[in-house]
Amino acid sequence: MVNILVIGSGGREHALSWKLSQSSKVETVFTAPGNGGTENNVPIDVNDIDGLIDFAQKNNCFTVVGPEVPLAEGIVDKFNQKNLKVFGPSKMAAQLESSKIWAKNFMKRNDIPTARFEIFDDANKAQKYVQSLDYNVVVKADGLAAGKGVIVCNSTAEAESAIDTILIKKTFGDAGNRIIIEERIDGIEASFIAISDGEVAIPMASSQDHKRIFDDDKGPNTGGMGAYSPTPIIDDTLAKKIQENVIDKTIQSMKNEGITFKGFLYAGIMLRDGKPYVLEYNVRMGDPECQPITMRMDFDLYDYFVASVDGTLSSMPPITWNKKFAVCVVLASKGYPESYPKDEIISGFNTISNDAFVFHAGTKKSDGQILSNGGRVLGVTALGDSLESAISNAYAAVEKISWPSKYCRTDIGKKGLDFL
């Protein structure tokens, strides 16, 4: 029996902790720092790498790194230096997410399909460039910006404003010292996530995230307002194409460049005319995609984490999935992704039926109560025999949860219904 330390405090980490605790090989799952829904919380910040190493050593833990910031800081390298087992990519491999510019150049030199782009650190030059274009663009901060450093523009004026926001106003701090201006590819967006050991990559179930704050994909980008799995947008033929042309090619190209990629590789895909383009990479499980994906896992996730670390994924049995659909509706605090209230009492948890589960994100426990403690507060996730019934079950559970500033989209999963 082994102990596990899951690093992070979001809905993704609650979902991973929940799934890993079901393994017959696991004794205790600790979560650092965790949230109001996770058990065995350890009060160590995700960026306190020395503190996390010390805890993992003392408690004989296999460690799973949830969020992107410690991965970008090289937490996996530091754990490896201490001969501690840890699931996730090295600092070099994490550049796929920590620098959008590094990732775009990587895709360009390895012929991985992505949008045309240019790189700028000078606002005036960037403004002149967008004025010369006859197509709409997306403006992206180079570094990590909690899923909010991407501005999709509908006009030259919006592009100029985005450049001003990132390069001049420094809304994203040093993450916006350089920007990418890329062609806006309009199509259907989906998430394709695989687990790799540096040699092979095994795909997870397909999913689709809903990034914008308002219904019908209106308003600013967020970390994600809901997701569902599987998505009928990605059929078997398309999944094979993405696996070969994006995932396998990325792992092999990294290897060719002397970088072993271990962990979750997430490709944000835009589908246009049946062809997949990579919008961005993440080097960890998506959030909220993790919640519906873990709800459907019909295998021991711990075994595959160990195989990823040990380089033995090719010898693992095929993974199996619950045939049901899963839908996750994110409940946020009104005002997110800008400012929002905290410390509001949340009620209704004990009324949720068995076909749904509430994953916590921005919550904390205080005097036996669960309080709101973030922008994205909960991920209400439900199964159903059809996508329609999974949506219905998720929203039935959503109705039972309440706090004064509760907000959610009302259309999570509905875009998938058109493809069934």
pLDDT, position 148: 78
317 exposure class (CB count in 10 Å sphere: 0-12, 13-18, 19+): exposed
Residue 165 in contact with residue 151, Cβ under 8 Å?
A: yes
Scored b (16 or more CB within 10 A) or e, 263-277 reads bbbbbbbbbeeeebb
> Which phi-psi region, left, alpha or beta, contains residue 79 (left: φ > 0; alpha: ψ -120 to 50)?
alpha
Pairing of strands 2-8, 61-65: parallel
Report residue 292 as tokens.
Answer: 């519906």
CB burial class (10 A; 0-12, 13-18, 19+) of residue 373?
Answer: buried
pLDDT of residue 147: 72
Q: Which helix (H) or strand (E) holds 238?
A: helix 236-242
For 379, the token pair is 């991920």
Helices marked H in 66-209 — which ranges? 68-72, 75-81, 95-98, 100-109, 123-131, 156-163
Q: Going by C-beta distance under 8 Å and a sequence separation of 6 or more, which residues neighbour residue 386?
A: 325, 420
pLDDT at position 308 is 98
With H, G, I as helix, E, B as strand and everything else as coil, classify residue 156: helix
CB 246 within 8 A of CB 253: no
**Amino acid, res. 282:** N
The residues, any chain, with a CB within 8 Å of residue 316's CB and separated by 6 or more, are 202, 303, 304, 307
Helices (H) and strands (E) in the chain, counts: 14, 23
* Extents of the domains making up the chain: 2-87, 122-177, 188-315, 325-417
Using the structure block, give the residue that is written with the tokens 């190209």: 253
Which CATH architecture fits 188-315?
A: 2-Layer Sandwich (3.30)
- Given a contact cutoff of 8 angstroms between Cβ atoms, the answer to whether 355 and 347 are in contact is no
Return the pLDDT at 420: 83
Residue appearing with tokens 């491999």: 93
Q: Which residues of the chain have pLDDT under 50?
A: none
pTM: 0.95
CATH number among 3.40.50.20, 3.30.200.20, 3.30.2010.20, 3.90.550.10, domain 2-87: 3.40.50.20
Q: Are the C-beta atoms of 232 and 416 separated by less than 8 Å? A: yes
Residue 220: per-residue pLDDT: 87
Q: Which pLDDT tens digit goes with each residue over 20-63? A: 999 999 999 999 999 999 999 999 999 999 999 999 999 999 99
Supply the pLDDT for residue 40. 97
- Residue-level pLDDT at 319: 96
Classify domain 122-177 at the CATH superfamily level: ATP-grasp fold, A domain (3.30.1490.20)
Per the CATH hierarchy, to which homologous superfamily does domain 325-417 belong?
Phosphoribosylglycinamide synthetase, C-terminal domain (3.90.600.10)
Model pLDDT, residue 392: 97
SS3 340: coil
